[in-house]
Amino acid sequence: MSETPVRAALRAATGEIHARLHGLPALAALAAGQLDRAAYAALLRRFLGFHRGAEAALGAAPDLAPWGIRLAERQRAWLIEADLAALGVDAGEMGLAALPPLGSAARALGCLYVTEGSTLGGRHLARALDGLLPPGEAGRRFLLGHGPRHAALWRECCDALERCGADPERRAAMLEAAAGTFAAFAAWFGAPGPVPQGMALPPAGG
């Protein structure tokens, strides 16, 4: 899919912080296939706190149905919970990432650009776990994202971004929220958090 004006503006507004995120140690280790199972479980728990926070913020935002977006089919926290269960880890209770206010549809779509865009490289990251997990989806459903519906859902998201962002004021709000969501992600992943100690994980084949 070729880049369109609003997506180009979003990329320009968030490119610097997005690039910095690739340098976060846990994410770099994931991409390189260098996580052990305990570290991967800890990373999934960190993802879960972010996506639970994002889903709560989006759920409290103005309805995106007029823009063709059904949030229920885009939720991914439950996929992380399934991955943790496959590792034998209880998701449990945890804090939630604090996202910027999403008081308009434009701001909610700016946040959605970040959460949906994160699915684009997921399949590559899922393959990086081949040395850690047995074949199949178990343990990597979050990274596999929306599965066969991925392309259609991304097109719907991009269409909503372009239509909403055609208005300059809405576009500005969208860019601000997207940058704020990336900043919230960076703060959440850069902050100290609970790293499982003595976690009993089943062996890779179990």
Whole-structure pTM value: 0.87
**pLDDT average, residue stretch 38-53:** 95
Interhelix angle 5-21/168-190, nearest 10 degrees:
10
Does residue 153 have a pLDDT over 90? Answer: yes
Indicate left, alpha or beta for 92 from its phi (over 0: left) and psi (-120 to 50: alpha): left
By the 8 A CB rule, do 97 and 182 touch?
Answer: no
Per-domain residue ranges of the chain: 5-190
CA distance linking residue 160 with residue 65, whole number of Å = 10
Structure tokens at 51: 């996506």
As a CATH number, domain 5-190 is 1.20.910.10
| For the chain, counts of helices (H) and of strands (E) | 9, 0
pLDDT tens column, 66-111: 999 999 999 999 999 999 999 999 887 888 999 999 999 999 999 9
Confidence class of residue 191 from pLDDT cuts 50, 70 and 90?
Answer: low
pLDDT, greater one: 143 or 193: 143
